[in-house]
Amino acid sequence: MSLVQRTPPPVSESGLLQVQSEPDMVSAMRYEDEIETSNVSTRKKRPRLDGSPLDEYSRLKKDIQQMFKNWAAEQDLKFSKLITEISDLKQQNSVIQETNLEIRKFMTFASTEYDDMRKKIAKLEKERSEYTENLMKMERKILDLQVKSRTASIEFRNIPMQERETTDDLLSIVSSVCNALHIPIKHDEVRDVYRLPGKPGTNKTIVAEFVTVRGKNNILSAARNFNKKETYRRKT
């Protein structure tokens, strides 16, 4: 709000001291009107001085406006940065979700594979247990056969070895011995014939496994009689 101060018209000293007649009063009034009109038409605003309240107000207003502009720019920068960070977080969250999904798929696959592996291991353990049991049964059968074969086997000792000796050669030797004891045998009466392990250069023992214990006992009885006769013959 501007303040306008009017300068009052100058008062003539003669106006205060002199008494005028009516014509003079009319002239005086016209003169005052002219002066007043001149004062009104020529009045001007007083020049504004620095440091006036209006200048302070304008400066304060500009400072506040600038402060708000700076604050708004700073807020816009922070908001833009916040939007960028939120966008980055969303992207990271999306990547994390995809990673978690892949991990879940892998865990599901690994769990399935683990279950399948457990089943396969359980099956293999069951088969191994069955194989072990069958092997033990076979071992027991073999032992039984060995015991039975030993009860129906005869050992022939001090019989020279032949070069490149075969099973047929050993069977012929056994047959020749039995014939010498006057107990002829057939080849099908012998289940197996072989030599026992021994030191190199020695005459290894021949073992003949007969089909029946009776055939074995007949040969042993004939061998005892043969030995008795030979002993008696040598003494006489």
pLDDT tens, position by position, 125-184: 999 999 999 998 888 888 777 666 667 888 898 889 888 899 999 999 999 999 999 889
CB 204 within 8 A of CB 195: yes
Give CA–CA dist 170/193, Å, rounded: 7
Beta bridge partners of 192: 209
Higher pLDDT, 29 or 227: 227
Whether residue 14 is predicted with pLDDT greater than 70 in this model: the reply is no
Extract long-range pairs of 25-33: CB within 8 Å, 24+ residues apart.
Answer: none
How do residues 79-112 score in pLDDT, each as one tens digit? 989 999 998 898 999 899 999 999 999 898 988 8
Taken in order of first residue, the domains within the chain and their CATH numbers are 154-235 (3.30.70)
- Give the pLDDT of residue 1: 39
Whether residue 12 is predicted with pLDDT greater than 80 in this model: the reply is no
- Give the pLDDT of residue 30: 52
Give CA–CA dist 152/146, Å, rounded: 10
SS3 192: strand
Residues in contact with 160: Cβ distance below 8 Å, sequence separation at least 6, in sequence order: 203
- Give the pLDDT of residue 148: 65
CB atoms within 10 A of CB 211: 15
pLDDT band at 38 (very low <50, low <70, confident <90, very high): very low
